[in-house]
Amino acid sequence: MKKKDVVGGLVVICAGLVFLAANLGYVSIEEVWQQWPAVLIVIGASKVLFPGEGERTSGLPLLLVGCVFLAHNYDVLHIRDSWPLFLVSAGLSILASAWESGRKGPDGRAS
């Protein structure tokens, strides 16, 4: 079983349950839409916790960006004030990928 298939199936199931709850009047689509950055957080956390080949470092920027957008949606932190965090995220991603590639030997395997 592939990890992408499992994650994709879970995403479709969750989307169906959310739309069902909205149709039954338990939640509003506006409330659910406010939570969209949680998708970035979940994807980033899954890449950090269950990394594939070179995926561990690509999850960190997703986590940071998802947290910034979620904080913006709840008026905790505004994008206009926190845009430098996107630069920090890009720099961390570059450093992390350089560190990951530096750990690989000449044959492409981790040393």
Task: Kindly report, residue by residue over 98-109, the tens digit of the pLDDT.
Answer: 877 776 655 555
Distance CA 61, CA 57 (A): 8
Residue 111 has pLDDT above 70, yes or no: no
Between residues 40 and 59, which one has the greater pLDDT?
40
Tokens of 12: 């479709």
pLDDT for residue 103: 65
pLDDT for residue 61: 81
57 and 93 in contact (C-beta within 8 Å)? Answer: yes
Task: Kindly report, residue by residue over 43-87, the tens digit of the pLDDT.
Answer: 888 888 877 776 667 788 888 889 989 999 999 988 888 888 888
98 and 105 in contact (C-beta within 8 Å)? Answer: no
Residue 34 has pLDDT above 60, yes or no: yes
Tokens of 50: 């269950």
